[in-house]
């Protein structure tokens, strides 16, 4: 275990991921955690992340310098590097020489940390203060034009640091620097793999659910719930029931894919609830986006709870025994962002389900709580789930309901489903699935425009293509799809979908746009 101490910048999660990419397990802890508590967890190493502030700013987050002398190896990055320098008697000054973004670094003495790395290379910086003198006992390894001490190490004490951000993509050799610390200086063993995760989780779930527990899992068709369900299925077999609510707002072929491929690859017990009519009736006449979301959310809970009640209704708990478990695909970023941090135990959620005894509680089973999205995909592959599920683009819960601008009807859904299927097919055909974050196709159902096809005038609807690149959906850029791919999509949609006579491309980034149109 390697602990990444979070000083409040957005870098801690990325560092934790990079450590895991080096096949060493890592978790994030807040900088407010007492050092004794960190050490009590027995970490092989501690990494201090970057932070937003100057070490001299009022209220700047700090760390008890005892962390540097406890015998556990420590690596400081950016702000963490400055904390280490200051904590051990070095000098950190506001030289006024700020460095942001790409910066050239010159390695003067590679030592262990920078061994086999080119003497001149480009790194990513973001700092105002600089270390002007390394603490006693440290070797200075590198400098930049503005920073005399940009990297240092004291291998005997297991301490090292760099002023730059080795974890970001734009830093050359960043992963190598991190691995040098982990392996050569902290002597971590690189044994953490997806196989371990699956086995570990299966054991944990068996323990949590016990001999008689029953679990249910709502499948959305997305990768998270599918992988969570597949792990639980491996642990408890048929005592897991998966529920898939078909709200009629899915894309072409998706429901069939869940019914066929998910079941075939996992052997899970799946109940598909056909609720299309119920959802479409509830949506009739509604065009306001928020109203649509509310209706879809409400109908979803209603349908899911009815299925739950049916499945778990006759499981009788003995005194003090828990028999009802709800599987959720919660990921590590959700846990970190909601302030859960490392090591928090499962939260109990009480559902009041109509038709169930009032005291029947659900306990959450969250097998992906420690994983990042890209790790979830690897686990999915490990579990033998089909690539279509493992690599599926994110798809919003309200489905195509928020990609029809205007009222949602069966007829409009069918039009959009056809256009969307063509766009996805051509994207896959061009080999671009993994370069694109999401590719919504939006039907402007209340808009008509004039066109000409064959010898006749048409008066059809436009669709908008919205391919975007992103890392986390918080920000996004419009994807520069090759013209020939766009052309094929446009030609096929206007030829094959009779009601559509115009195809537009959305070239707005997020912000100011959002990914979805509603
Ligand atoms: P926006 O459109 O806000 O979307 O840029 C960001 C990400 O969230 C997805 N999204 C939703 N997911 N329920 C969901 O489960 C929703 O109501 C919803 N709205 C947007 C969207 O697809 C994108 O990935």
Residues 386-420: tens digit of each pLDDT: 998 999 999 999 999 999 999 999 999 999 999 99
The reply, when asked if residue 101 is annotated as ligand binding, is no
Nearest ligand 1 atom, CA 517: 2
326, pLDDT greater than 50: yes
Of the residues 167, 172, 308, 518, only one is catalytic, namely 167
Cα distance between residue 134 and residue 237, in whole Å: 58
Cα distance between residue 391 and residue 378, in whole Å: 10
Q: What is the pLDDT of residue 293?
A: 95
Q: What is the dihedral of CA 302, 308, 310, 315, to 10 degrees?
A: -150
pLDDT band per the 50, 70, 90 thresholds, residue 339: low
Closest residue to atom 20 of ligand 1, CA basis: 396
pLDDT per residue as tens digits for the range 228-278? 999 999 999 999 999 999 999 999 999 999 999 999 999 999 999 999 999
Q: How far is the CA of 516 from the centre of ligand 1 (A)?
A: 7
Residue 511, preceding peptide bond in cis (omega within 30° of 0): yes
Nearest ligand 1 atom, CA 510: 5
Mean pLDDT of all residues belonging to the chain:
91
360, pLDDT greater than 60: no
Report ipTM (2 d.p.). Answer: 0.98
Q: What is the pLDDT of residue 316?
A: 56
Closest residue to atom 10 of ligand 1, CA basis: 396
pLDDT per residue as tens digits for the range 86-134? 999 999 998 777 888 889 999 999 999 999 999 999 999 988 889 999 9
Cα distance between residue 32 and residue 30, in whole Å: 5
**Please, what is the angle between helix 373-382 and helix 223-236, to 10°?**
50
Q: What is the pLDDT of residue 239?
A: 94
Cα distance between residue 56 and residue 330, in whole Å: 38
Cα distance between residue 438 and residue 515, in whole Å: 8
Within 10 A of 480 (CB to CB), how many other CB atoms are there?
10
Closest residue to atom 6 of ligand 1, CA basis: 473
Q: How far is the CA of 471 from the centre of ligand 1 (A)?
A: 14
165 is catalytic: yes
For a substitution probing ligand 1, which of 420, 473, 508, 518 has the most ligand atoms within 8 Å of its CB?
A: 473
Give yes or no for a contact between 45 and 74, defined as CB atoms under 8 angstroms apart. Answer: yes
Nearest ligand 1 atom, CA 513: 5
Domains 2-185 and 194-390 share a fold: yes
In 3-state terms, what secondary structure has residue 26? strand
Would you say the C-alpha torsion 53, 57, 59, 60 has a positive or negative sign?
A: positive
Nearest CA to 427 among 373, 383, 377, 468? 468
Q: What is the pLDDT of residue 320?
A: 58
Mean pLDDT on 167-171: 86
348, pLDDT greater than 70: no
Q: What is the pLDDT of residue 361?
A: 64
Q: How far is the CA of 394 from the centre of ligand 1 (A)?
A: 8
Closest residue to atom 9 of ligand 1, CA basis: 396
Closest residue to atom 14 of ligand 1, CA basis: 396
Nearest CA to 238 among 259, 261, 209, 258? 209
Task: Give percent of the chain with pLDDT exceeding 90.
Answer: 75
Token pair for residue 518?
């509603």
Mean pLDDT on 328-348: 61
Cα distance between residue 154 and residue 118, in whole Å: 21
Burial category of 463 from C-beta neighbours within 10 Å (exposed 0-12, middle 13-18, buried 19 and up): buried
The reply, when asked if residue 106 is annotated as ligand binding, is no
pLDDT per residue as tens digits for the range 2-28? 999 999 777 888 899 899 999 999 999
Task: Look at the domain 403-505 and name its fold.
Answer: GMP Synthetase; Chain A, domain 3 (3.30.300)
Q: Where in the chain are the domains?
A: 2-185, 194-390, 403-505
Report the pocket of ligand 1 as residue ranges, CB < 6 Å: 293, 394, 396-398, 438, 473, 510, 514-516
Give yes or no for a contact between 7 and 32, defined as CB atoms under 8 angstroms apart. Answer: no
Radius of gyration of the chain (CA): 27
Closest residue to atom 3 of ligand 1, CA basis: 514
CATH architecture observed for domain 194-390 = 3-Layer(aba) Sandwich (3.40)
Q: How far is the CA of 466 from the centre of ligand 1 (A)?
A: 13
Pick the CATH number of 2-185 from 3.40.50.10490, 3.40.50.10470, 3.90.550.10, 3.40.50.880: 3.40.50.880
Q: What is the dihedral of CA 360, 361, 363, 364, to 10 degrees?
A: 110
pLDDT band per the 50, 70, 90 thresholds, residue 319: low
The reply, when asked if residue 223 is annotated as ligand binding, is yes
Cα distance between residue 55 and residue 74, in whole Å: 18
Q: How far is the CA of 272 from the centre of ligand 1 (A)?
A: 24
Nearest ligand 1 atom, CA 518: 2
**Please, what is the angle between helix 194-209 and helix 373-382, to 10°?**
90
Of the residues 78, 188, 217, 242, only one is catalytic, namely 78
Nearest ligand 1 atom, CA 476: 5
Mean pLDDT on 199-207: 94
Give yes or no for a contact between 26 and 19, defined as CB atoms under 8 angstroms apart. Answer: yes
Instruction: Please list, in sequence order, all residues whose beta carbon lies within 8 angstroms of the beta carbon of residue 20, skipping any fewer than 6 positions away.
Output: 26, 192, 372, 375
Cα distance between residue 442 and residue 464, in whole Å: 5
Q: What is the pLDDT of residue 454?
A: 83
**Got the DSSP string for 38-92?**
HHHT--SEEEE---SS-TTSTT-----GGGGSSSS-EEEETHHHHHHHHHTT-EE
CB-side exposure of 250: number of CA atoms within 13 Å?
19
Q: What is the pLDDT of residue 322?
A: 64
Closest residue to atom 22 of ligand 1, CA basis: 396
461 is catalytic: no
Please indicate, yes or no, whether the overall pTM of this predicted structure exceeds 0.80: no
Q: What is the pLDDT of residue 417?
A: 98
For a substitution probing ligand 1, which of 290, 404, 515, 518 has the most ligand atoms within 8 Å of its CB?
A: 515
Token pair for residue 357?
């005894």
Q: How far is the CA of 431 from the centre of ligand 1 (A)?
A: 24
The reply, when asked if residue 237 is annotated as ligand binding, is no
Q: What is the pLDDT of residue 353?
A: 37
Looking at residue 510, the DSSP 8-state letter turns out to be B
78 is catalytic: yes
Cα distance between residue 389 and residue 229, in whole Å: 13
Residue 123 pairs with which residues in a beta bridge?
Answer: 103
Minimum mean pLDDT among 98-112, 202-216, 360-374: which range?
Answer: 360-374
148, pLDDT greater than 90: yes
The reply, when asked if residue 221 is annotated as ligand binding, is yes
Q: What is the pLDDT of residue 55?
A: 83
Closest residue to atom 4 of ligand 1, CA basis: 515
Give yes or no for a contact between 398 and 290, defined as CB atoms under 8 angstroms apart. Answer: no
Mean pLDDT on 200-219: 93
**Got the DSSP string for 120-175?**
EEEEEEEESSEEEEPPTTPEEEEE-SS-SBSEEEEGGGTEEEESS-TTSTTSTTHH
354, pLDDT greater than 70: no
Q: How far is the CA of 85 from the centre of ligand 1 (A)?
A: 43
Mean pLDDT on 214-239: 94
Cα distance between residue 326 and residue 242, in whole Å: 10
Within 210-347, where are the H helices? 223-236, 254-257, 263-266, 276-283, 289-312, 332-337
Chain position carrying tokens 């064959």: 454
Minimum mean pLDDT among 13-17, 188-192, 311-315: which range?
Answer: 311-315
């Amino acid at each position: 275990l390697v602990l990444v101490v979070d000083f409040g910048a957005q870098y801690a999660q990325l560092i934790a991921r990079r450590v895991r990419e080096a096949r060493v397990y890592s978790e994030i802890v807040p900088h407010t955690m007492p050092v004794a508590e960190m050490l009590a967890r027995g970490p092989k190493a501690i990494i201090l992340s970057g932070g937003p502030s100057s070490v001299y700013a009022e209220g700047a987050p700090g760390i008890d310098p005892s962390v540097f002398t406890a015998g556990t190896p420590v690596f400081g990055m950016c702000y963490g590097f400055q904390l280490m320098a200051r904590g051990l008697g070095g000098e950190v000054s506001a030289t006024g020489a700020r460095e942001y973004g790409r910066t050239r670094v010159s390695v003067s003495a590679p030592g262990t940390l920078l061994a086999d790395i080119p003497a001149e290379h480009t790194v990513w910086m973001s700092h105002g203060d600089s270390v002007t003198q390394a603490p006693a006992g440290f070797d200075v390894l590198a400098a930049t034009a503005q920073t005399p001490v940009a990297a240092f190490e004291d291998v005997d004490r297991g301490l090292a640091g760099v002023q730059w951000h080795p974890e970001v993509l734009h830093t050359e050799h960043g992963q190598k620097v991190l691995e040098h610390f982990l392996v050569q200086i902290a002597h971590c063993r690189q044994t953490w793999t997806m196989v371990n995760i699956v086995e570990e989780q299966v054991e944990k779930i068996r323990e949590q659910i016990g001999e008689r527990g029953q679990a249910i899992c709502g499948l959305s068709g997305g990768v998270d719930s599918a992988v969570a369900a597949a792990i639980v299925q491996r642990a408890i077999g048929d005592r897991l029931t998966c529920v898939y609510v078909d709200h009629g707002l899915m894309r072409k072929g998706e429901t069939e894919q869940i019914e066929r491929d998910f079941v075939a690859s996992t052997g899970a017990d799946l109940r598909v609830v056909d609720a299309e009519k119920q959802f479409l009736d509830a949506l009739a006449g509604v065009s306001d986006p928020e109203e649509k979301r509310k209706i879809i959310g409400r109908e979803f809970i209603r349908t899911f709870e009815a299925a739950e009640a049916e499945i778990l209704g006759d499981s009788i708990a003995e005194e003090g025994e828990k028999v009802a478990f709800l599987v959720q695909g919660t990921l590590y970023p959700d846990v970190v962002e909601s302030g859960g941090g490392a090591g928090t135990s499962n939260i109990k959620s009480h559902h009041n389900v109509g038709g169930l005894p009032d005291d029947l509680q659900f306990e959450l089973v969250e097998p992906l709580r420690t994983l990042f999205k890209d790790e979830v995909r690897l686990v999915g592959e490990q579990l033998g789930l089909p690539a279509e599920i493992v690599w599926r683009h994110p798809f919003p819960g309200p489905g195509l309901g928020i990609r029809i601008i205007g009222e949602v009807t069966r007829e409009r859904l069918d039009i959009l489903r056809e256009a969307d299927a063509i766009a996805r097919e051509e994207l896959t055909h061009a080999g671009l699935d993994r370069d694109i974050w999401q590719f919504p196709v939006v039907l402007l159902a209340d808009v008509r425009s004039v066109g000409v096809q064959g010898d006749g005038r048409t008066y059809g609807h436009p669709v908008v293509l919205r391919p975007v690149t992103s890392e986390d959906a918080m920000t996004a850029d419009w994807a520069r799809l090759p013209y020939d791919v766009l052309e094929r999509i446009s030609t096929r949609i206007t030829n094959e979908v009779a009601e559509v006579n115009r195809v537009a491309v959305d070239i707005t980034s997020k912000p100011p746009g959002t990914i979805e149109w509603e």
